[in-house]
């Protein structure tokens, strides 16, 4: 039986100091492996892209941990900035907004960088927003960015040839 006294948890038997030290080391190792707060990754590589007449400063999410994190927990995006998701192979990709605090638009692109479709996404929802056909890339920008800049189906995302995949 466990007992709680003055905010401490006590066990009904003696707890040797060596076991306490071992548990402290295990906890420290777990915290080191877990990384920064809220599971956030460190800074991601950046790539300069262009779409229509606009330059885009994009963070690169080209591996599973970076794609899973996406733009979660961000409170803003700089002007003309976003995140480019790079997939290993063309597939029917979908996005959601769990733990994402800002409204976004996502554009899906094929292997050649041609725009397939654009979806509008609301913060902190788990609705699926999917490519209409197999996509190799997805670009998340502040909601409405593509419409404000006259970007529509068939537009070509330039600069993809500069990517170095880090799977």
- 137 closest CA partner among 122, 162, 123: 162
Mean pLDDT for the chain overall: 81
Confidence of residue 58 (pLDDT cuts 50, 70, 90): very high
Cα dihedral 65→45→71→53 (10° resolution): -140
pTM, two decimal places: 0.74
Q: Cα–chain-centroid distance for residue 163?
A: 17
Q: What pLDDT does residue 162 have?
A: 83
The domain spans of the chain are 3-38, 46-162
- 46-162 in CATH: which number? 2.60.120.1140
State pLDDT tens for residues 62-98: 999 999 999 999 999 999 999 999 999 999 999 999 9
Flag whether pLDDT at 167 surpasses 90.
no
């Amino acid at each position: 039986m466990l007992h709680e006294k003055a905010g401490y948890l006590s066990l009904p038997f003696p707890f040797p100091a060596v076991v306490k030290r071992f548990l402290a080391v295990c906890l420290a190792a777990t915290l080191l492996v877990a990384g920064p707060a809220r599971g956030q990754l460190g800074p991601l590589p950046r790539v300069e892209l262009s779409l229509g007449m606009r330059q885009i400063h994009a963070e690169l999410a080209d591996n599973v941990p970076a794609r899973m994190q996406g733009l979660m927990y961000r409170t803003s995006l700089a002007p003309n900035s976003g995140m480019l998701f790079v997939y290993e192979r063309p597939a029917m990709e979908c996005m959601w907004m769990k733990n994402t605090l800002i409204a976004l638009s996502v554009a899906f692109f094929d292997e050649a960088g041609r725009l397939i479709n654009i979806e509008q996404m609301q913060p902190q929802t788990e609705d699926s927003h999917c490519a209409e056909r197999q996509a190799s890339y997805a670009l998340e920008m502040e909601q409405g960015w593509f419409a404000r800049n006259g970007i529509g189906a068939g537009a070509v995302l330039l600069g993809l040839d500069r990517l170095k995949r880090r799977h």
